[in-house]
Structure formats: C-alpha cells, structure tokens
C-alpha cells in the first residue's frame, strides 16, 4: 500500500496542514518508510479478538452532566489570540456571494 | 539554606537553562521561594506535617501549572500560561510540594530523545554530548543533575522509563487510570499517563502516592484505593515469582546489557524470589501497533490547536488559511509527521487495514500480559532499553530508528499495566535501566521488587 504524493497532499488538507512543494517528496518517502514497518501486522490473525480501543474492560464511569465546575484562574483574553465581549474571534467565514466548500473548511471529508 | 533555594542554586551550578544543559524551560525563583514560605506557615498550623512540605519538584512542560508557562515544547503554545492546573499539580501542592521548574521535552511528548523540542535539544547530565532520552528527558535530567529528588513526566510509550534509564534515575509509569490526566495536554488518550521520577525508589513511590487517585475531572481514573507504597519496602522476596520474558532478551541484545540484567536477577533469586522463563509472543508487534494507534489518537487530539482559543495564530487566506498557516508554522517536523501518519491510518480506505487491525493486535498484546500473570507471575523483569543513551543527532535521519528505542517499553502502555525503570549498572560508564512490570493496580508488588533490588544492588547500580 504505497503512499503517493497525492495521498500526502490529501491527508494534509484533512489535517489542516499546509505543506510546501519542497516538503512533499521527503514526507512521502518517510511515511512509506514508516508504514512499510506496519505491514507485518497484516499477517496477524485477529479474528478471535475484539479490537481494543483502550485498556479497561469496565468502560468509562458516567456522571451527571452538571459539573464539577472548573473555574478559570484568568480570563479568555489572557490566553486567546483574539476575543471580544468574552467571545473568541475568528477570521470571517465565506459570505453567500462567495461561498466555497473550502472556506467553511469542513466539506471535503 | 532551604530546599527550594538549594534547588535553584543547583540549577545555576549545572547551567540547567538554554545556555547549558537546556533541561529547564521556565522557572521563577522568587515565586517558588514565596510559595515555600507559605507552604511552611501552612505546615506550622496543620495538625500533621504535610508529606511533601517544602519539597521542590520539577514538572514536564506538558502538564498545566498556573504560574509557569506550559508550552509542551512547542512553538504553537509558546508563552501559554494555563488558566487551570492539572489535578496532579494540585495534589502535589496540597501536600506541600513546590514546583520549581518546567522541564524540556519532545514537542507534545512525541519523541524518544528530547531533540524534538522547539526550544532545542536537552542534554544528558551524565554526558552532555548524549541525549537524556525522551520525551520526558528534561525531568529525568533534572533529577539526575541533583536539582530535585522528584519530578513529573508523562508516558505514552515509555517517555518516563526510557529517559530514567538513560539518566540513571528511577522512573515510574503507573497503571492506566491510576493518576488523573486532567491538565496533562493530551497526546494519545488511551495510552497517556502521568509518571514520576525519583532519585530513589522511595522518592518516585512517594510522588506517585501523592498524585494517584480517582478524579471527577478524568472519567478514566479508577476508583481504587491508593496504597501507601512505602509499605512495600522489604528485604526479602520469598514467594515472589519473577517472569523473564524471552522476547525482551533477543540474541541481538548487547551482551553487557544482558549481563547487568543477569546480575540483577541473581540478586532477586538470592533474596528468595523465583525467576521463571516466560514468553510474550506478540512483543515484536508492539512498535508497529503503537505507531499506528498513538499517531491516530494524536491527529485527533491535536486538532484543537487551530489558532482560535489559545496559543499561536498566524493569519492566512480566510478561516482555512488561518488554520493551515497556524498549524504549519506552529508544529515541528515530528509532530507534522505523526499528524499525517495518524490522519492517513484513520482515513477512508485505510482505517480497517491499519487502525482496526492495530487495535486487534493491541488486544493480543494485552492478552499476553493477562496470560503471563494468570500463570502465577508476580512481576516481570526486562531491560528498559536495548542500549544506553545515544549521541545527540545519532538517530535523527530515520524516524523509525528513533521509534525502536521504545521497543521494551511500549507494551506496558498498550496493555495499561504499571512498569518502572531502576538503575542496574553501567555500560561504557553510562547508566542502564532494568524494567519491573506488574499487573493492573499492583504497583505495591512492582515497588516491592524495586525496593529490594535497589537495596541489594547498592553501589553496584552505579557501576
């Protein structure tokens, strides 16, 4: 299952990473190198086991969705790139006139 | 001189900052001394002296503290000061401990050498030409350099035990769920666990006892009582059965590392333990499994660094342009590599072949442990790493070569069992660690073996 340069460009878009043309060949080669070592897993028979997403068999404990409170020691403005009236400010989304799947940033999955 | 003042004196003596060993990323002497005074006056009024009153501790830079920055060794969080603190830190402070330094680490804990820090590589105090291991290399080095006797690190695949081995200190990865991950910046949530470093087994055990326990803020913490680990201190190991898994002693293992392990096993036998050869047949699959599961979880966890709520923002073309510019400038090469790898193994068409298959093999690795312990084993003993610390730059060319330094440690994270590294001797005058593993929540058995071995080895552990 060789990874192509197009694959790397595709997953970079999914991961919201901009890669330069100079980085692509090396990353493609490195990913192929790493994934080559993973092929050994294909030979293992795992039909008899349930895939393990975690280590516990008990699952997570649930609690009422009402706390506990985790008050912040300092306000959002002290750590956020941009805030106004307690809200996080983000760059303007596409308007109806120039809407594109790209600007919304979530339509290519 | 107070303990905190002494820690700062030692920090400057060994040049712990960027101009020297580069093991400390931030510290504030005045604030720490103030906190020490407050801790002392609280202790004076308390009915019983808090267990860690006035004890200086160092903390890996991916664990949230209120006063010092939490950068995770990354540009994307440069200068970020958390508005809340980790549960582990709150517990340490409640016990009277003083956080004196945030320590250098591989960016977002992704690495095995502390070379992948945006703030430059950390150096091993044993020999500054060598890496201290990673990703919690700074914390291991701070204890090795004698700045503090206790430090916190984090483990995802060996990031406490491996640097502990490379620096010649004790490093503990507790059972998954033993310590709250609240305030530990997430890397791979099904594997991550805060761990402790100590100058001795006792120091690491006491630090763990302080931070362990159930926490409403982390639903994966276990509601298991926290034992007093010091009660495990023992001189005899009668009735203890130590498993020696043959897959951790391959033919290719450096004969000098093997000889040090044999010496330790001889000590354990002499103390009354029985040593039994066992097999963990899926061990060689652990690295491929780990380097699918950990990047997959990381690719999801690190999606939160997008320039919106905290950290770096770099403007670009629209919202997507801002995301891409921020993340590409903010993350280093290894983090980008792992996000891409994780995104790939989770993407349509590859999910079943890579991610789901890796989860299946993870279940088989966990079964190896269950089967071994069901056969009557109390604990296991293996080398922590196949080699001593390597030179800075020696493994930078091939990422997979670096990944292999975790070959003996990742299994414990995949299975969720507790494991620790203790110094067992030296090769070429460099520290070698022996690894002790136990079953889920049986840290007492693990510490029992560690206390006994530490005592039996005595000065041999440094020779």
Given this model, what pLDDT does residue B345 score? 97
A27 close contact with B: CB closer than 8 A: yes
Length of chain B: 463
Residue pairs spanning A and B at CB distance below 8 A: 191
For the cut 70, the answer to whether the pLDDT of residue B356 exceeds it is: yes
| Closest among B66, B39, B44 to B55, alpha carbons compared | B39
Q: Do B340 and A11 touch (CB under 8 A)?
A: yes
A34 close contact with B: CB closer than 8 A: yes
* DSSP 3-state percent helix, strand, coil across chain B (nearest 5): 45, 15, 40
* Average pLDDT over every residue of B326-350: 97
Given this model, what pLDDT does residue B268 score? 98
Higher pLDDT, B269 or A57: B269
Interface probe with B: pick from A52, A86, A107, most Cβ of B within 10 Å: A52
For residue B26, the surrounding DSSP H or E stretch is strand B24-26
B271-300 per-position pLDDT tens digit: 999 999 999 999 999 999 999 999 999 999
Given this model, what pLDDT does residue B45 score? 85
In angstroms, rounded to a whole number, what is the distance separating the alpha carbons of residues B220 and B206? 22
What are the residue numbers of the active site of B? 60, 135, 159
In angstroms, rounded to a whole number, what is the distance separating the alpha carbons of residues B89 and B100? 12
B367 close contact with A: CB closer than 8 A: yes
Q: Do A17 and B353 touch (CB under 8 A)?
A: no
The gap between the terminal CA atoms of chain A, to the nearest Å, is 21
* Average pLDDT over every residue of A28-34: 95
Given this model, what pLDDT does residue B258 score? 98
Which chain B residues touch A92 with a CB distance below 8 Å? 318-319
Please name the member of B324, B347, B362 whose beta carbon is closest to the beta carbon of A17. B324
Kind of pairing, strands B150-155 and B56-60?
A: parallel
Predicted interface score ipTM higher than 0.95: no
Given this model, what pLDDT does residue A49 score? 87
B315-330 per-position pLDDT tens digit: 999 999 999 999 999 9
Q: Which of A12-16, A67-71, B113-117, B234-238 has the lowest mean pLDDT?
A: A67-71
Concatenate the DSSP letters of all residues of B227-262 into one string: --GGGG--S--TT-EEEEEGGGS-TTS-HHHHHHHH
Q: How far is B53 from chain A (nearest CA, A)?
A: 24
Q: Do A15 and B340 touch (CB under 8 A)?
A: yes
Higher pLDDT, B50 or B241: B241
Q: Which residues are CB-contacts of B355 (< 8 A; sequence separation ≥ 6)?
A: B292, B293, B296, B345, B346
Higher pLDDT, A107 or B204: B204
For the cut 50, the answer to whether the pLDDT of residue A10 exceeds it is: yes
Given this model, what pLDDT does residue A100 score? 52
B79 close contact with A: CB closer than 8 A: no
Instruction: Give bridge partners of residue A95 from the DSSP assignment.
Output: none
In angstroms, rounded to a whole number, what is the distance separating the alpha carbons of residues B341 and B299? 8
Which chain A residues touch B321 with a CB distance below 8 Å? 91
Provide the 10 A C-beta neighbour count for residue B253: 15
Higher pLDDT, A51 or B298: B298
Report long-range pairs for B394-402 (Cβ below 8 Å, ≥24 apart): B395/B113, B396/B115, B398/A33, B399/A30, B399/A33, B399/A34, B399/B334, B399/B337, B400/A33, B400/A34, B400/A37, B402/B111, B402/B112, B402/B113
* Average pLDDT over every residue of B1-16: 97
For the cut 90, the answer to whether the pLDDT of residue B180 exceeds it is: yes
Nearest residue in chain B measured CA to CA from A101:
B320
Q: Do B353 and A16 touch (CB under 8 A)?
A: no
B351 close contact with A: CB closer than 8 A: no
Q: Do B325 and A18 touch (CB under 8 A)?
A: yes
What secondary structure letter does DSSP report for B303? G
Which chain A residues touch B350 with a CB distance below 8 Å? 1
Rounded to 10 deg, the angle between the B333-346 and A5-14 helix axes is 90
Given this model, what pLDDT does residue B49 score? 85
What secondary structure letter does DSSP report for B338? H
Q: Which of A59-68, B118-127, B160-169, B263-272 has the lowest mean pLDDT?
A: A59-68
pLDDT > 90 in chain A, percent: 54
In angstroms, rounded to a whole number, what is the distance separating the alpha carbons of residues B263 and B256? 11
* Average pLDDT over every residue of B254-262: 97
Given this model, what pLDDT does residue A108 score? 42
A59 close contact with B: CB closer than 8 A: no
In angstroms, rounded to a whole number, what is the distance separating the alpha carbons of residues B218 and B212? 12
Given this model, what pLDDT does residue B220 score? 92
In angstroms, rounded to a whole number, what is the distance separating the alpha carbons of residues B420 and B164? 9
Buried/exposed code over B219-229 (b: 16+ C-beta within 10 A; e: otherwise): bbbbeeebbeb
In angstroms, rounded to a whole number, what is the distance separating the alpha carbons of residues B245 and B226? 29
A11 close contact with B: CB closer than 8 A: yes
B406-441 per-position pLDDT tens digit: 999 999 999 999 999 999 999 999 999 999 999 999
Q: Do B360 and A105 touch (CB under 8 A)?
A: no
Given this model, what pLDDT does residue A1 score? 61
Buried/exposed code over B60-82 (b: 16+ C-beta within 10 A; e: otherwise): bbbbbbbebbbbbbbbbbeebbb
* Average pLDDT over every residue of A53-57: 68
B391 close contact with A: CB closer than 8 A: no
pLDDT > 90 in chain B, percent: 94
Q: Do A16 and B359 touch (CB under 8 A)?
A: no
Q: Do B320 and A55 touch (CB under 8 A)?
A: no
* Average pLDDT over every residue of B114-133: 98
Nearest residue in chain A measured CA to CA from B413:
A55
Q: Which of A67-81, B144-158, B243-257, B352-366 has the lowest mean pLDDT?
A: A67-81
Q: How far is C-alpha B375 from the chain's CA centre?
A: 29
In angstroms, rounded to a whole number, what is the distance separating the alpha carbons of residues A85 and A98? 28
Nearest residue in chain B measured CA to CA from A53:
B359
In angstroms, rounded to a whole number, what is the distance separating the alpha carbons of residues B175 and B271? 26
Higher pLDDT, A50 or A8: A8
Q: Which of B34-43, B76-85, B88-97, B289-298 has the lowest mean pLDDT?
A: B34-43
A66-109 per-position pLDDT tens digit: 766 678 999 999 999 999 998 999 988 765 555 554 444 444 43
Query: What does residue B193 show for φ and ψ, rounded to 5 degrees?
Result: -160, 135
Q: Do B415 and A81 touch (CB under 8 A)?
A: no
A68 close contact with B: CB closer than 8 A: yes
B99 close contact with A: CB closer than 8 A: no
A88 close contact with B: CB closer than 8 A: yes
Which chain B residues touch A15 with a CB distance below 8 Å? 299, 303, 327, 339-340, 343
The dihedral of CA B177, B264, B371, B345: what is its sign? positive
Instruction: Tell me the pTM.
Output: 0.95
Work out the burial of residue A85: count CB atoms within 10 Å of its CB; fewer than 13 is exposed, 13-18 middle, 19 or more buried.
Answer: exposed
Do residues B89 and B183 make contact, with C-beta atoms less than 8 angstroms apart? Answer: yes
In angstroms, rounded to a whole number, what is the distance separating the alpha carbons of residues B392 and B405? 14
Given this model, what pLDDT does residue B43 score? 85
- What does the mean pLDDT of chain B come to? 96
Q: How far is A101 from chain B (nearest CA, A)?
A: 10
Please name the member of A16, A52, A103 whose beta carbon is closest to the beta carbon of B318. A103
* Average pLDDT over every residue of B441-461: 97
**Strand extents, DSSP E, B86-157:** 98-103, 150-155
Do residues B261 and B385 make contact, with C-beta atoms less than 8 angstroms apart? Answer: no
């Amino acid at each position: 299952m060789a990874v192509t340069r197009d694959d790397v460009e595709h997953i970079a878009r999914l991961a919201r990473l901009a890669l330069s043309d100079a980085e692509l060949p090396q990353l493609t080669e490195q990913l192929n190198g790493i994934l080559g070592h993973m092929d050994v897993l294909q030979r293992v028979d795992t039909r008899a086991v349930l895939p393990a997403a975690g280590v516990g068999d008990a699952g997570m404990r649930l609690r009422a969705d009402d706390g506990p409170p985790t008050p912040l020691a300092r306000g959002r403005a002290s750590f956020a790139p941009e805030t106004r009236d307690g809200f996080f400010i983000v760059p303007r989304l596409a308007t109806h006139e120039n809407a594109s799947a790209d600007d919304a940033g979530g339509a290519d999955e | 001189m107070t303990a905190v003042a002494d820690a700062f004196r030692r920090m400057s003596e060994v040049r712990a900052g960027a101009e020297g060993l580069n093991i400390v990323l931030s510290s504030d002497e005045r604030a720490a001394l103030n906190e020490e005074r407050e801790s002392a006056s609280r202790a004076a009024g308390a009915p019983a002296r808090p267990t860690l009153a006035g004890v200086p501790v160092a903390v890996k830079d991916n664990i949230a503290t209120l006063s010092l920055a939490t950068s995770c060794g990354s540009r994307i969080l440069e200068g970020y000061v958390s508005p809340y603190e980790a549960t582990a830190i709150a517990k340490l402070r409640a016990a009277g401990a003083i956080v004196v330094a945030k320590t250098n680490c591989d960016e977002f804990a992704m690495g095995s050498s502390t070379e992948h820090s945006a703030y430059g590589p950390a150096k091993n105090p044993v020999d500054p030409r060598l890496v201290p291991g990673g990703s919690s290399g700074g914390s291991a080095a701070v204890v090795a350099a004698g700045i503090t006797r206790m430090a916190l690190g984090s483990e995802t695949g060996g990031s406490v035990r491996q640097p502990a081995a490379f620096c010649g200190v004790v490093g503990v990865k507790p059972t998954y769920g033993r310590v709250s991950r609240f305030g530990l910046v997430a890397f791979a949530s099904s594997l991550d666990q805060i761990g402790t470093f100590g100058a001795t087994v006792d120091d690491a055990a006491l630090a763990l006892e302080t931070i362990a326990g159930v926490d409403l803020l982390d639903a994966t913490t276990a509601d298991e009582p926290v034992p007093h680990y010091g009660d495990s201190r023992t001189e005899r190991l009668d009735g203890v059965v130590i498993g020696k898994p043959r897959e951790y002693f391959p033919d290719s293992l450096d004969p000098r590392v093997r000889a040090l392990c044999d010496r330790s096993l001889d000590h354990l036998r002499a103390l009354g333990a029985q040593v039994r050869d066992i097999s963990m047949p899926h061990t060689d699959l652990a690295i491929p499994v780990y380097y699918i599961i950990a990047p997959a979880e990381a690719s999801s966890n690190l999606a939160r660094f997008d320039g919106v709520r905290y950290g770096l923002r770099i403007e670009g073309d629209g919202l997507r342009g801002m995301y891409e510019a921020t993340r590409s400038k903010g993350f280093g090469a290894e983090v980008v590599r792992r996000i891409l790898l994780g995104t790939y193994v989770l993407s349509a068409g590859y999910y079943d072949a890579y991610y789901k298959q890796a989860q299946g093999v993870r279940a088989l690795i966990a079964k190896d442990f269950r089967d071994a312990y069901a056969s009557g084993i109390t604990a296991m003993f293996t080398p922590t790493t196949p080699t001593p610390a390597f030179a800075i730059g020696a493994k930078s060319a091939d990422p997979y070569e670096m990944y292999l330094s975790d070959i003996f440690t990742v299994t414990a994270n995949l299975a969720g069992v507790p494991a620790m590294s203790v110094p067992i001797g030296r090769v070429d005058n460099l520290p070698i660690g022996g690894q002790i593993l136990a079953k889920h929540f049986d840290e007492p058995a693990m510490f029992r073996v560690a206390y006994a071995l530490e005592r039996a080895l005595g000065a041999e552990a440094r020779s």
